Amino acid sequence: MADAEKPQCKVILANNIAKTLLEEVHTGLQKISHKPKLVGFLSSTDPAARVYAEWTRKTCTENGFDFELREIDREALEDAILDANVSPDVDGILVYYPIFGSGQDQYLQQLVSIDKDVEGLSHQYISNMYHNIRFLDEHQTKKSILPCTPLAVLKILEYLRIYNMILPYGNRLHGRTITVINRSEVVGRPLAALLANDGASVYSVDISDVQLFTRGGGLRKRRHDVHEKPGWTLKDCLPISDVVISGVPGDKYKVPIELLKEGAVCINFSSEKNFAPEVKEKASIYVPSIGKVTIVVLLRNLLVSGVIHGVEVGD
Amino acid sequence: MADAEKPQCKVILANNIAKTLLEEVHTGLQKISHKPKLVGFLSSTDPAARVYAEWTRKTCTENGFDFELREIDREALEDAILDANVSPDVDGILVYYPIFGSGQDQYLQQLVSIDKDVEGLSHQYISNMYHNIRFLDEHQTKKSILPCTPLAVLKILEYLRIYNMILPYGNRLHGRTITVINRSEVVGRPLAALLANDGASVYSVDISDVQLFTRGGGLRKRRHDVHEKPGWTLKDCLPISDVVISGVPGDKYKVPIELLKEGAVCINFSSEKNFAPEVKEKASIYVPSIGKVTIVVLLRNLLVSGVIHGVEVGD
């Protein structure tokens, strides 16, 4: 029968990808003397924030980390973050957004001390990421952390063998065309830049326009280049994309399945479902959510943070 | 005639307020050896940004400062800012927003080197402002700059004698009730906090809610307190406000004149007119725009910046 011959879409759950990453974390954890402690600040009224908080607790406690959730009135959050910044028993700080849903959230983000920022959202981290700078210091002792969610997507693409290990490091996405739907500062834009830095052609799609990110040829800074694509829409990007990564907030947005290339790899990083179930009739691989991988990436960062604080306390 | 007896509204133009502040700037300028240079970056397509750029040029050159406008494609702006950060002949950097109109604008803002940030928008400046910290360093040699537009409003309120000089410093708005319409991170929220720190009761009104800012009683940090006012709207704030300061972007918004207290002081900091002409039938003082004061405040910051760089080069 013709139908039986059509290759089936493989649905890959974040949990399975997370498992392999967790092994790395366990190995690292055995090398340090204290249990790293993560403090989560919940001031958001968004139910998705609470779900994420509970996931964090579960993943932390199941994997040998301490977790404390502090539910704080949003007006008291600023002082609470400043306290945690200087508290020696806190290794990492995680703030659940949105809180004010305005520029005030970015202000709060920047208050978190850089050496406790396990989300990798400090301006210095983001700026280093865009400029492909891997360390915070000249002597290359302190790694510059990458923002969690974009890094989780990279780890997923590695797991899915979209990164081709035959190619040299830094060029393992060469030849890949990827569409990223969403250009937020927290996920979409950094993700597009990271993918471009690894050699992919990346269409970054936002409500207002399409931009093409490619690896920069600049000598001074090995950063990505951005080319505006006037008049372009998803109609132009999706049919030529090997990988489609979507993270539009809210439950209304759906990626137009009919525009997808046959056999595309589809990844959803929205807390809602950006792909309708019919995606399975078109895609070769579909990853319906990435949250569980994001949390493990966060634990990796917490481990780095725990090592730093352990040295300060122990030596 | 009854009409003749009704006191007339005094319309005060920013230009007149700017003049007195400029004298201070001229005195300061005579004390330093080089002409401070401001570089403006124009990547915005907003016509108001170009107008503001031309105003900056005019004010700079008329008052003994150097000004250079660099019109840069927005994709090249990041590198251009980083270049200006390390260029010894640049004393101050001013970026005209909006550019991307998204979180990317905040990212760019934070790229400007703190000692060339004449707008006072660096996270460290803003965070110091909220916590009433006046210096960047322990030895109190480097002043922490206040964001330009909020500071311009404060200078206007001083000029208008709303600040009562009889009262002790830090409490000169005691007894004043002020409504600020707009709670952006760039102007509205810092302005409300500054006014509260000086003793006023400030209703901060945003599209979603009303918050009351008052001076904090905390011992550790002398910052303002914020109280949510559930259910409150302009109907509740305006009739009890001595001063109404409005900065809603766009030309559609108008402050409801009928709700104003008789004899209120009205200040517009939007680039459009938030007050209809009838405001003059209700207000005692009306300041239709503040841009010219903002630019002088910026020159004051540039002067501080020029002093710092002059010392570095000369000594």
Q: What is the DSSP string of B151-203?
A: HHHHHHHHHTT-S-TTSPTT-TTTT-EEEEE---TTTHHHHHHHHHHTT-EEE
Q: What is the pLDDT confidence band of residue A34, given thresholds at 50, 70 and 90?
A: confident
Q: Dump pLDDT digits (tens) for A156-166.
A: 999 998 998 88
Q: Which one, of A220, A225, A181, A218, lies nearest residue A200 by Cα?
A: A225
Helix or strand holding residue A173 (H, E)? none
Half-sphere exposure of A139 (CA within 13 A, CB side): 1
Determine the average pLDDT of the residues in A182-211: 93
Same domain, A173 and A281: yes
pLDDT at residue B248 in the model = 95
Q: How many CB pairs under 8 A join A and B?
A: 52
Q: Searching chain B, which residue's CA lies closest to the CA of residue A100?
A: B208
Task: Decide if B26 is inside a domain.
Answer: no
The answer for residues whose C-beta is within 8 angstroms of residue A286's C-beta and 6 or more apart is A9, A10, A11, A12, A265, A266, A267, A275, A279, A280
Same domain, B171 and B267: yes
Contacts of A107 in chain B (CB under 8 A): 123, 126-127, 185
Same domain, B167 and B277: yes
DSSP 8-state assignment for residue B226: E
Dihedral sign for Cα atoms in the order B197, B189, B130, A108:
positive
Half-sphere exposure of B35 (CA within 13 A, CB side): 11
For residue B13, give both structure tokens: 């133009």
Same domain, A161 and A258: yes
CATH number at residue B83: 3.40.50.10860
Same domain, B101 and B193: no
Task: Decide if B189 is inside a domain.
Answer: yes
Same domain, A84 and A165: no
pLDDT at residue B315 in the model = 35
A9 given a catalytic annotation: no
Q: Which one, of A126, A95, A148, A99, lies nearest residue A292 by Cα?
A: A148
For residue A315, give both structure tokens: 């030596």
DSSP per-residue string spanning B22-48: HHHHHHHHHTSSS--EEEEEE----HH
The amino acid present at B153, given as its one-letter code, is V
Same domain, A154 and A221: yes
Same domain, B213 and B302: no
The yes-or-no verdict on residue A224 having pLDDT over 80 is no
Same domain, B183 and B275: yes
Task: Decide if A206 is inside a domain.
Answer: yes
Determine the average pLDDT of the residues in A33-44: 93
Q: How much is the CA Rg of chain B, to the nearest whole Å?
A: 20
ipTM, two decimals: 0.70
Range of the domain at B237: 150-283
The yes-or-no verdict on residue A315 having pLDDT over 60 is no
The yes-or-no verdict on residue A55 having pLDDT over 60 is yes
- What is the C-alpha separation between A118 and A95, in angstroms, rounded? 10
Task: Decide if A218 is inside a domain.
Answer: yes
CATH number at residue A201: 3.40.50.720
Domain boundary pick from A93, A115, A137: A115
Which residues on neighbouring strands pair with residue B279, listed in sequence order?
none
Same domain, A159 and A228: yes
**Could you tell me if B242 and B178 are in contact, meaning their C-beta atoms sit under 8 angstroms apart?**
yes
The overall longest dimension of chain B from CA atoms, in Å, is 69
pLDDT at residue A312 in the model = 41
Contacts of B187 in chain A (CB under 8 A): none
Q: Which one, of B90, B145, B152, lies nearest residue B122 by Cα?
A: B145
Q: Dump pLDDT digits (tens) for A57-98.
A: 999 999 999 999 999 999 899 999 999 999 999 999 999 998
For A123, the closest of B75, B123, B184 (CB atoms) is B123
A227 — phi, psi (to 5°)?
Answer: -120, 125
Contacts of A127 in chain B (CB under 8 A): 107, 110-111
Task: Decide if B15 is inside a domain.
Answer: no
Number of domains chain A is built from: 2
The yes-or-no verdict on residue A113 having pLDDT over 80 is yes
Same domain, B279 and B161: yes
pLDDT at residue A4 in the model = 52
pLDDT at residue A5 in the model = 61
pLDDT at residue A200 in the model = 94
How many C-beta atoms lie closer than 10 Å to residue B290's C-beta?
24
Task: Decide if A136 is inside a domain.
Answer: no
Which residues on neighbouring strands pair with residue B202, listed in sequence order?
B178, B213
Determine the average pLDDT of the residues in A40-51: 91
Task: Decide if B260 is inside a domain.
Answer: yes
Q: Which residues of chain B have pLDDT under 70?
A: 1-6, 217-223, 306-315
For residue A312, give both structure tokens: 């300060």
DSSP per-residue string spanning B73-98: -GGGHHHHHHHHHH-TT--EEEEESP
pLDDT at residue B60 in the model = 95
Write out the residues of chain B at the interface with chain A, using a CB-CB cutoff of 8 A.
75, 78-79, 102-104, 106-107, 110-111, 123, 126-127, 130, 183-186, 189, 206, 221, 225-228
pLDDT at residue A288 in the model = 97
Task: Decide if B127 is inside a domain.
Answer: no
Q: Characterize B154-193 residue by residue with b for buried, 16 or more Cβ atoms within 10 angstroms of its Cβ, and e for exposed.
A: bbbbebbebbeeeeeeeebbeebbbbbbbbbbbbbbbbbb
Lowest pLDDT segment from A218-222, A234-238, A299-303: A218-222
Q: Provide the percentage of residues in chain A whose pLDDT is more than 70.
A: 93
Which of A114, A182, A189, A205 is best to mutate for the B interface (most B CBs within 10 A)?
A189
Distance from CA of B182 to the nearest CA of A (A): 12
The yes-or-no verdict on residue A6 having pLDDT over 70 is no
- What is the C-alpha separation between B211 and A167, in angstroms, rounded? 56
- What is the C-alpha separation between A263 and A238, in angstroms, rounded? 12
How many C-beta atoms lie closer than 10 Å to residue A57's C-beta?
16
- Taking CA atoms, A41 is separated from A84, A213, A298, A308, B189, in Å, by 10, 34, 15, 22, 22
Distance from CA of B129 to the nearest CA of A (A): 12
Same domain, B254 and B311: no
Question: Among B9, B60, B148, B266, which one carries the catalytic annotation?
Answer: B148
The answer for residues whose C-beta is within 8 angstroms of residue A149's C-beta and 6 or more apart is A186, A187, A191, A269, A290, A294
For residue A247, give both structure tokens: 């993270």
Distance from CA of B115 to the nearest CA of A (A): 17
DSSP per-residue string spanning A69-127: EEE--GGGHHHHHHHHHH-TT--EEEEES-SSSSHHHHHHHHHS-GGGBTT--SHHHHH
**Could you tell me if A127 and A189 are in contact, meaning their C-beta atoms sit under 8 angstroms apart?**
no
pLDDT at residue B131 in the model = 85
The C-alpha angle A229, A152, A298, rounded to 5 degrees, equals 135
- What is the C-alpha separation between A292 and A16, in angstroms, rounded? 9
- What is the C-alpha separation between A212 and B118, in angstroms, rounded? 33
- What is the C-alpha separation between B187 and B153, in angstroms, rounded? 10
A188 — phi, psi (to 5°)?
Answer: -60, -50
- What is the C-alpha separation between B41 and B53, in angstroms, rounded? 9
The amino acid present at A58, given as its one-letter code, is K
Question: How many whole angstroms from its chain centre is CA A219?
Answer: 28
DSSP per-residue string spanning B228-287: E-TT--HHHHGGG-SEEEE---SSS----GGGSPTT-EEEE-SSS--S-GGGGGT-SEEE
